[in-house]
Amino acid sequence: MEPTPLKLGATILIAAALGAALGAALGGCSTVSNTVSNTVGDPFVAPGKFQFIHCDEIAKRLVIAQDREQELHALMDRAGSGVGGGAVSLFVYEPDLQGVQADLRMLRQVAGEKRCSDEVLKAAPKADISPLH
């Protein structure tokens, strides 16, 4: 017995409504995750990871993390251009990118808490890191 066009249309309508409801329910996750990370802490960074380093070391680590973030974005863009690149980006590069971005947030927060001068952070020497191939 084949489904009639009316039943098929109703099934598609129900599936679309469920998809929209799921999207609406998950749409607030970014706000919730910001609230959770402000309350509980960032799940990608160990608490106190940067508390015992000085401003000049914070500046060096900021440069390294910013370079790594740019490198990961470039790798994700390059992977996205190929077949299956989205999956590679999602499973390989995205977790690393989230960790680097969490480090950047924590480094900036610690620099603010330690009242590191903007000149120290801007004058940080360029880190020697080689790109991954």
Each residue's pLDDT expressed in tens, for the chain with a length of 133 residues: 565 655 656 666 566 555 555 555 555 444 444 444 554 566 667 677 888 889 989 999 999 999 999 999 999 998 888 788 888 888 889 999 999 999 998 998 888 888 888 765 665 555 444 454 4
- 3: which residues sit within 8 A by CB, 6+ positions away? 11
Our CA angle for 117, 106, 33, nearest 5°, is 140
CB atoms within 10 A of CB 97: 19
d(CA 115, CA 121): 11
Query: What pTM does this model have?
Result: 0.58
Nearest to 121 by CA among 51, 62, 76, 39: 62
